[in-house]
Structure 1
């Protein structure tokens, strides 16, 4: 027997008992449906199909659970044979019953497929076993096949996955889950909030969950809006209050609690009338409450009493009734009140200020008037009589005020500007008026727009002052300024004014020429920007001195740097400018460009120095020329006899060292005489095409260098010679002496050892060298002699090329003529000298020789010894000095 046959038999043979059980079952299901409908109306205000569907499913589950018990009871209560007979009899009706069941199944299938609620069956692993189209849509997919067998966690938002997994587990543990909210995310990232209700079912011996899903996007939106609205109400700066019909407070926001001095937890203990001051209770009862009872809103100014402090708060209140949207029945009173205490106080202060203003305006020295938006005069101060000669009454009756009293040269333009001030910011202008007595006066007018509280134009107010005396003074000052400007523009000196920080605030035209900057750049420039550190320091010292003493002073011998980076030498006379109270406000002064004068002075000094040097050289040459011959004769005798004696005496004789010293001293004296003759004669005798590298090479292998090296064994010699060095034209003897003198000075400068570097190179000169105003442009051969010795003191740099000036060690070398010979030789070779030296950092002499395009002669001269051997000839020795003749004869 199956369940269907059993049911048919029970219905036919035990109708009364079954009817009773059926009635009880139907009533229980009806009660369930009614409860679901009631819950839907209470919570949602409408009949929710989803909730009804859940109730039906619950009823189906309950029936499934009770069915076995019901069958068991039937088996115990009835004779089964009789039942089988009866059921067999009614088997013919089975087809009809199956057809009815199929129709019922199709009806429910259609309902599930077309409902806007999602249905899904999942297994214990959370994988989808079946689902209706709505759930497929909620999961973010297009077809059921896309989600079959997949876990619902896959389309759950990342931040909800753990929560969803825990909910699935809880559902299988408890057998159900209700009102569970979670977010689904589709492939495009769109989020859909879902509410789930799930129940566990046994299907095929396995537990599954039937889950009903509903899209709550709209509800979530409404909830968010409600939360926002609640937040606005809670944090509003206005008092927001709800009260029952008897005035008992239902709700009062935070601002309201603070305004009336009620704690939030005590709101429901107070009546709205508790905060109304006694003097306004009558107004509330006679105006406010009757208006509300008529269903109208009431708004206006009220006062509330702060229950904590007792202070009175001015408010602007709006009161109305909240009604049921369906029945229109009154639910409660609502009140929104804004604190206007500060505004009321401000209004009071404004009224007081207006009263004071009118009082002051009536007594002010200036002429004040107010013209309305229609162009008509509203008010004018009594001062108009003093300025214009017209009384207040005459002005008030004057058509198109104040046009009739404005000078014709300014009338239309001035009136247009005044009227344009109705909508523009402050408008200042000056014009002339004609007084009632015909006198012409200058006035200054300041016009401001006037607006109402609503922002509408209310015309303009004008303050007018008689400035005739000021205009006359300005004209006098302007004429004076033009006069002095003409004077300033006609002189070469520049006039300036600087503020106390050293910024230019006024400049004459000559200043732009002197400083080399355009007007817009130089104006406002600080003195530090156009001076170097040393000159800026001089200016600062003078400015401080002037500020301290208040007396004028001069800034002399300072340089400015023009915009093109050239330097100009400046002198300036500066004085202090003070205001009427005697306070210093600025510096002013006159600037003179003394660059050309300083250049001329320098050239004059150079010429004087050259003249002195030339005179000194001339005197030295005259002296040398006068005594050189006699000195050479004397030295020749001494040297000659010394040589003869050395040749005759035994080398081990005690006389030999003495004769050697005589020879050495005589040779030094001869060298001095030769240097004097070199300085005296000048010029380059026997000029030839030479190569400096060869001369340096000869010096490198000379006995003189060996001698210097023996005295200064710690000095290392370094040669850096350009293999492609150009030729020069000059005297090899003189140039060799130049190299020897420079090297000797370098050796003497390094008593503790060091490096002597001799370098040659080719260089093209196209700009002056330091110490020379002009240099011939072209190719030069450069010789530099550099040491790492003690250096030269700044005081000695100006004198090292003077004859007989020396700092060398007494007894070794040095007559003070070495660098003088170098200087003279460079002049004779049309070259230049540069010297760089600092104490403790060594010295570097750089010599520039004009190059020569001529080639050196490489002709070798062969000397035949036989040509110089005598053949019995007689030699005649002629000399005006007897001793010289004797020595020559003995040598021969």
Structure 2
């Protein structure tokens, strides 16, 4: 036994040991996983600094393999460590050494120089390990990127300071009193002062005496407006000389938005002014024999196609956006290399576009000593501009930019996007798509731009001089006619290839520049037929031209044809020739070849462009017309389709003939006023049909004059759609109004009918116990009648709102109406004839017969009240099938309907009355003659039964109401005949009455006990369940309210049937909601007693329930 216990104990201890070993192994595995997957490098050393363990991240960060790592110690010979300033870090400063020495956690920034000489920067944290055999644990967090970013920021700040001080423009900042806060080195160099001679002194101290007052008057305006552009002052240099300086500036504000200081750049324009004055004098000298130079534009001096190509190539090579504009900012060339950030995002907003235009205008100011370089006011991108000046006249600006400064941050463009309302995320994406440069790189490109602009200015000036040369050439041509020498004639025409062709078409002379233009040397073509190099398709016309020219001395002519180059390609030339066969020096036709290939290509492009425009013009979705003072000059096919006139008929027509008479004054007034916003008018087609139009017009230049282009858009369909929308909106408002009344009715019906039940019940019971001769009997009768009238009003409200509880039956409408005729005749009186006109073979309808009674009673009473004295009311039935929804009644739906119509020959109704006919509480009767709910109730009943109602009436012509009720396919039941009133039925069964209103519960108990029944009364569903668990006898019937707290009548019935399967149920309520009726329609198996009720009605319903079968 003892040995057995030992064995068990050994096994238990072995199991525990194995379990602990497993836990240790699991912990070790977790430690190893954490150690090697930790995002920082980790090394563990002993007390002497010998490295014991290294994780994978440390190997990667330090670039040393694990085996090499763990053979190292804390030894300067094994590691090359440097401080943040780049100097060697001595061993005693190393984090691990400090941690071991001072027994505390140490964190340092240390640089580790690798084998390749590269430096990796780490945030090194060393902590002592208080474990035997261990010394310190070290973590390495690579912060190289952070160090480089900080270094780049520091370098950037230094560069900015250098750029600020040495910028090509001077800078100054003034405080609110106009005293200097700061200036840059360029400012000091321009004016010759030392910085300490300037800071703190008033700006006016450095102005010409004549300009000081001007500054004092305008400085407050500058602070108020916030910006100045191109303001000029004469300033005094330190040496006493005065220079003209141009200022551009803005104000800076503090965090509260108040003025803080000014920021202005300035430029010495003294020399520029002198040069400009000299150039203006030079231009004046060129005005004869040229035209007025004020009419000279850049487009007159250069081919725009060449300029565009030059600009495109410059933009592509320099990676900048580029555009040439007029001094007013209107584009001359198309934009080149524009960035998405500017063209699609910034300029798409109103604020961004305004800032861009403002920047462009600043760049457009001429700068004599170099390009204008500045950050754009819209987005802060680098922009530059250079002016093209010809003879002192500012012809154009060449602008470049949309370049991101390398130091600019994404947040700056995000902030700007928020300021101008642009898409912030898209702006951020586009920001990084934008080319980037530092200021020096961009400045070099701007300088190159300035050189090119000056070159264009010189070339333009030379072209102006060419105007004088052309005049001299014309004089030379005249000299040819006066028989000057061949040499003089050739010099006059040296700009093109000069030729002499004899009577046979043989070339007798070709100027040497033919090789430059066509590749032929003169000797290649001399003595040979000119027709050899003319395009085959042009030879016949060329020969005819020469023959006609040769017939008359001194006759001149111009021919366009294709001439072959030596390489086989054909070029279009314009040959201008003069017949000089009578001149012995010429003896032929003298002329020149002028290459017009580019012009021909441009003309072809223009024709194609015009064809495309014509196609787009005709493809427009609306009609377009160009008119001059109303006369149509041109139009598209769309206008023809709209108006019914052909295009040929429209051109030359008075455009007002397309406008209906009632709109012509409006249209003519808008034409005279130059109105350019869309507006509506009535048009008229060729067939006389009038239709609604939407017109929009603009003034445009056309064939050398200002005309008006108009878009005609037929809005017939949109007008119809708008009318339909208004119609549907009206129906929606009516439905919402009905819903509101329904909620009101449903909200009050339950409590109101409960109170009326108590009033009517007690009044009735009191009258049963009283002799009718008793004077109080009449008072009780009035109380009973008033309660009945109140109940009728509640019922009418519920009927209008389609909330009343009904029990539909399949009816023959003819039989149902016939059962009411006797009562209706009594209702309308003897002076009015009631005519009944039933339709044979009428379809059945599914409807509560009491609702038919309500409809006929209300319509007949209204008809009676509309007849003064003697008259006639007609009740008729019919059937109709509707296939489409009639336009005049959108409530109608396709289907088969039984029609119940009531018409009279009374006074009829006007349109306003008919519009409000079915509104609840609307009435044309005296206040004491009606509630205004009758027709509203009829409308509600008809809608509850999925029908619709139409009304036809005119003042003095009577009225006709037609009720359309859906056809029912089941056979109809005959309306039950109303029997003479019988006494209240009695009984002896046990009845459980459940009602949460104590007054009704007590009244019902008294009524039923007087009828002989045994009553169990419960004031809540929970009490009813308790009574039903142990009743004093068999409960044959439960009478329960429908709407009660915590549990409704339907739920109570289900609970009671679980205890008494054979129990029968009679529900009672003034408003059932949807507990026992869906949308007010009772289920067929439901027995229902509507509140308020009389004792006789209660007795009858109880007896029906007890005697009926489930």
Could you say which structure has the larger radius of gyration?
Answer: 1
Common topology (TM > 0.5): no
Q: State TM-score, norm by structure 1.
A: 0.39
